[in-house]
Amino acid sequence: MNDMSMSNEGPMSNDGPIETGGSTDRGPIQWYQEALKRYADFSGRTRRSGYWWFVLVHSIIWVALGFAAPTLATIYALATLFPGLGVMVRRLHDTGRSGWWWFINLIPLVGFVVFMVFLASDGTRGSNRYGPDPKTGEPDPVTGDYCTTCGTDCVPDAAFCGQCGARRG
């Protein structure tokens, strides 16, 4: 069966819903809920907007709980640890990077700045080794001997583009 199928919610892949087009119908709460639903999913990709809306809603809730009930804020922070890690790893995947890049934060100051640049960068166009483009749902940008993502010639039997890492069709 094909990796892509249709449901009432739009196109789907093995990694969950594919956000197609501008996706202007989603608000901050929907992005937050999606991250919570995929709490243990460290595969696939998440768009920039999905990540940053999650961070904003999470931060507002955490700060509000911190003022109202610090113990509840701590419980909330622990309860949302895995959803936060999952959405962060999927965001790194969207930029073509492994979730292990989180450890760059261990380099004082510079690591955090580089990490924030990674999270704020636009995702790779088309598929990469982590899945289809969450903006367009394009399953395979590499066809034949030419990569439509980076424009380089590819080795005919390679699984991925040697230049940018896009998955071959």
The 10s digit of each residue's pLDDT in 24-78 is 568 999 999 999 999 889 999 999 999 999 999 999 999 999 999 999 999 999 9
Q: What element of type H or E holds 17?
A: strand 16-17
Alpha-carbon torsion, ordered 138, 140, 144, 146, to 10 deg: 70
Rounded CA gap, 94 and 75, in Å?
Answer: 30
Q: Which of 87-91, 100-104, 141-145, 160-164 has the lowest mean pLDDT?
A: 141-145
Whole-model pTM: value is: 0.69
What integer pLDDT is reported at residue 8 of this predicted model? Answer: 43
